[in-house]
Amino acid sequence: MCGIVGVVGNTNATDILIQGLEKLEYRGYDSAGIFVAGDASSQLVKAVGRIAELAAKTEGVEGTAGIGHTRWATHGKPTEDNAHPHRSETERFVLVHNGVIENYLEIKEEYLSGHHFKGQTDTEIAVHLIGKFVEEDGLSTIESFKKALRIIRGSYAFALMDSEDASTIYVSKNKSPLLIGLGDGYNMVCSDAMAMIRETNQYMEIHDQELVIVKADSVEVQDYDGNVKERDSYTAELDLSDIGKGTYPYYMLKEIDEQPTVMRKLIQAYTDDKGQVTVDAKIIKAVQEADRIYILAAGTSYHAGFASKKMLEELTDTPVELGISSEWGYGMPLLSKKPLFVFISQSGETADSRQVLVKANELGIPSLTVTNVPGSTLSREADHTMLLHAGPEIAVASTKAYTAQIATLAFLAKAVGEANGNEKAKAFDLVHELSLVAQSIESTLSEKEVIDEKVAALLSETRNAFYIGRGQDYYVAMEASLKLKEISYIQCEGFAAGELKHGTIALIEDGTPVIALLSDPVLASHTRGNIQEVVARGAKVLTIAEENVAKEGDDIVLNNVHPYLSPISMVVPTQLIAYFATLHRGLDIDKPRNLAKSVTVE
Ligand code: M6R
C-alpha cells in the first residue's frame, strides 16, 4: 500500500527518492510523485503508473532534500492531481501521507472554506490545514503541524516539508508504519527499511503520536506536547542481495525456490546446540496458561492458521479458533475465560490485524505475533513474537511466508506439547520431518517443466477453475485458489470436496478445470469419488497426490511427509501452477492489479 520515502542533507536527493520508491513498488501503488528542494529552488513531479514513468520526468530535478510517495488510491481515482505530494493553498507546504484521515470532510468544512483543492484526497485537506495555521493564523511550522495532528482523526504516516526551508523534514505517525534511517551526514524517512537499505542499515523507530524533526545531522523525537524523547537506533539485519531478484525473472519464482532454505533456516533458529526444539519459555507459558488459542490473520496468513489448527490442537491440547481480522476488528465473539490471541502476519503491518491487537491490549488479552518482520508494528505491540526467518518477501503473492508460518507454528506446537508431556508431541520428530519436507519441496521444484506443461494445457484459456480437497487438503485448496486468482485473475474457488454436491457442482460444465489435492489416506478415496462426480459432468481434472495415496495417472506426485506438515509440501505445486498460469497470460506476476503487499489501511 502507499509508501513514503524522504531524505535531507544529500546532494543526490532525487536519485535516492526514485530508488527508494522503486524498492517500495512491491507494496502496491497506482501513481507516484516526488518533491525535491535545494537552497534556491524546488520542484514537484508526479506520474500515474509505474515509477519508471515518474523517473523519466525527473531529468534535471536536483536538490538536497525531498519527499516521495507511492499512492494506492483510496480517496479519489489514480490521477496526477490525486497523486502525492500535495501542497497547501499557497503551495508553501508539501505533504505525503500513508493512511486514511477519517474526519477530512469535517475538517474541510470547519477550517478550509475558500480553499481550492486540486483533487479529492484526504491528504490535500491535511496539508491545507497545516498551511492555514502558518499562513493565516501565524503559527510556526511545528506548532501548526502539532495543531493539525490534534485535529486529525484516523491512521497516518506523514512527511511534511516547508518549501522555503530545505533543511528539515517533519514526520509523524499513528497506526501506519514509518521509520527514520540514519545516514552519514544525511538522514532519511521511509515506510520500511527496504527502501533505504542501499543507503544505511541504521534505523530509529517512531511511535504512534510522536513528531520527529529530521535534519541532515540530527533527529529529534517529541510527543505532541513538545516533550523530547530519547530513542536508540538499531541495525537492520538486511542486505541488498536479500531484496534483489538475482537472475530470476520474478520475485515470486525466487521466493518459491527459497522455501527449502527457509525450512532449514527455521530448524537452525528453533533448535539448540543439541538439536532440540527450543522456543522462548515465556511463549510456551503463555500457551500453557490459555484455555483457547484464537488465531487472527488475513488472506494467506489466515489460510496458514487453518493449515496449522489440527497440529496445534493435537500437540498443545488447546482448542484453536480462527478469526478474520477485518471481521473481528468490529465485533469479537464470546471469548473463552483465558484466551491467547495469535496474530499471523508476514508483514506485521496489516491494519485489520492491528486493529484487533489494539482491542486485545485494551482488554488485557495476552498476544503472540508470528511475523517475518522484526520490529514491525504487530511485533512491537504484542506481548511475544516468533519470527519466520524467511527473508524479505517482495512478490505480492505470498509463498515462502505461508510455508514458514506453518513451520514456525509447528515449532511452537512441538515445544508446548513436549513441555506438557503430550505423547504425540514427544513422538513428533519435527527436525527430521521438516528436513523431509525441504527435500520434498526440492523434488517438486525440479518438476517445474512438467508442471508448466500441465498448466498450459489446463489453464491457458479458462475464466474459472476450482481446487478441491478434504481435511488439510481443503485448507490448502483455499490458499491455492487465492494464489491463482490474485495473480492470474482466473476466478477460482477452493472447496471442501464433499461440499461440491451441495451447490457448487452446478458450476461444473464441459472443460471446467478442477484441481484435486490428495494427501490423507483416509480422505483421499472420498475425494476420488468427488473427482468422478465432476468428471462425469465434463470437468478437466488435474490431481496432486502424495505418494502414499497416489494412483496411476495422477498428474503431480509428491514425496510423503508427516501429515501435520503436508500443507507445506502440498502448497508448492499450487504456487507453481499460479505462477505459470500467470506467465502464460502475460501478466505482471509480482505486482497484480489492485493489490498491495502491505495492507496498511482497514
Ligand atoms: O502481511 P500479512 O500476512 O498480514 O498480509 C495478509 C494478507 O494481505 C496477505 O497474506 C495476502 O492475502 C497475500 N498477498 C496473498 O498472497
In tens, the pLDDT along 279-332 reads 999 999 999 999 999 999 999 999 999 999 999 999 999 999 999 999 998 889
For residue 192, the model assigns a pLDDT of 84
Is residue 35 within 8 A of residue 63, CB to CB? The reply is no
Locate the DSSP E strands across 420-558.
464-469, 491-496, 513-518, 540-546, 556-558
Using most ligand atoms within 8 A of CB, pick from 295, 303, 347 the residue to mutate for ligand 1.
Answer: 347
Residues 217, 237, 440, CA angle at the centre, nearest 5°?
A: 160
Same domain, 163 and 25: yes
**Strand 540-546 to strand 513-518: parallel, antiparallel, or no bridges (unpaired)?**
parallel
Mean pLDDT (the chain) is 94
Ligand 1 pocket, residue 194 CB under 6 Å: no
Same domain, 497 and 418: no
- Ligand 1 center from residue 588 Cα (angstroms): 18
Residue 300 has, within 13 A of its CA and on its CB side, a CA count of 30
* The three-state (H, E, C) secondary structure of 549-570, written as one string: HCCCCCCEEECCCCHHHHHHHH
Task: Map residue 14 onto helix, strand or coil.
Answer: helix
Ligand 1 pocket, residue 371 CB under 6 Å: no
> Rounded to two decimals, what is the model's pTM?
0.82
Locate the DSSP E strands across 55-113.
65-71, 86-87, 93-101
Q: Which atom of ligand 1 is nearest to the CA of 378?
A: 4
Give the sign of the dihedral formed by CA 205, CA 209, CA 214, CA 220.
negative
- Ligand 1 center from residue 298 Cα (angstroms): 6
- Ligand 1 center from residue 444 Cα (angstroms): 24
Flag whether pLDDT at 84 surpasses 90: yes
Under DSSP, the state recorded for 298 is -
Domain boundary among 241, 268, 297: 241
- Ligand 1 center from residue 27 Cα (angstroms): 11
What is the enclosing helix (H) or strand (E) of 241?
none
Mean pLDDT (whole number) for 250-272: 96
For residue 281, the model assigns a pLDDT of 98
Using most ligand atoms within 8 A of CB, pick from 250, 343, 346, 372 the residue to mutate for ligand 1.
Answer: 346
Flag whether pLDDT at 238 surpasses 90: no
Flag whether 147 is in a domain: yes
Q: Which atom of ligand 1 is nearest to the CA of 596?
A: 14
C-alpha to C-alpha distances, 49 to 33, 36, 166, 454, nearest whole angstrom: 10, 20, 28, 34
CA-CA-CA-CA dihedral for 413, 415, 421, 425, to nearest 10: 50
Same domain, 257 and 233: no
Same domain, 451 and 400: no
Domain boundary among 241, 263, 281: 241
Give strand pairing partners of 100.
155
Domain boundary among 189, 219, 241: 241
Ligand 1 pocket, residue 486 CB under 6 Å: yes
Give the sign of the dihedral formed by CA 385, CA 390, CA 395, CA 399.
negative
Same domain, 472 and 384: no
Same domain, 402 and 373: yes
Mean pLDDT (whole number) for 126-140: 95
Ligand 1 pocket, residue 301 CB under 6 Å: yes
For residue 175, the model assigns a pLDDT of 83
Mean pLDDT (whole number) for 373-381: 90
Mean pLDDT (whole number) for 95-120: 94
Cell numbers describing residue 292: 483457547
Using most ligand atoms within 8 A of CB, pick from 1, 295, 301, 408 the residue to mutate for ligand 1.
Answer: 301
Q: Whose CA is nearest to atom 11 of ligand 1?
A: 299
State which residues form the domain around 471.
Answer: 445-588
Rounded CA separation 158/65 (Å):
16
Catalytic residue numbers read 2, 597
Of 51-65, 192-206, 408-422, which range is least confident?
Answer: 192-206
Give strand pairing partners of 420.
none
Same domain, 44 and 177: yes
Work out the pLDDT band at 248, boundaries 50, 70, 90: very high
For residue 595, the model assigns a pLDDT of 84
- Ligand 1 center from residue 597 Cα (angstroms): 7
Give the sign of the dihedral formed by CA 453, CA 457, CA 463, CA 466.
negative
Rg of the chain over all Cα atoms, to the nearest angstrom = 25
Same domain, 232 and 360: no
| Total number of domains constituting the chain | 3
Q: Which residue has the higher pLDDT, 601 or 313?
A: 313
Rounded CA separation 197/246 (Å):
16
Same domain, 513 and 372: no
Same domain, 286 and 344: yes
Work out the pLDDT band at 558, boundaries 50, 70, 90: very high
Same domain, 158 and 30: yes
Same domain, 103 and 176: yes
- Ligand 1 center from residue 346 Cα (angstroms): 7
Q: Whose CA is nearest to atom 9 of ligand 1?
A: 299
For residue 512, the model assigns a pLDDT of 96
Ligand 1 pocket, residue 369 CB under 6 Å: no
- Ligand 1 center from residue 62 Cα (angstroms): 37
Q: Whose CA is nearest to atom 4 of ligand 1?
A: 345
Tell me the percentage of the chain whose pLDDT exceeds 90. 86
For residue 403, the model assigns a pLDDT of 98
C-alpha to C-alpha distances, 76 to 32, 84, 119, 178, 352, nearest whole angstrom: 14, 12, 7, 23, 22
Tell me the percentage of the chain whose pLDDT exceeds 70. 99
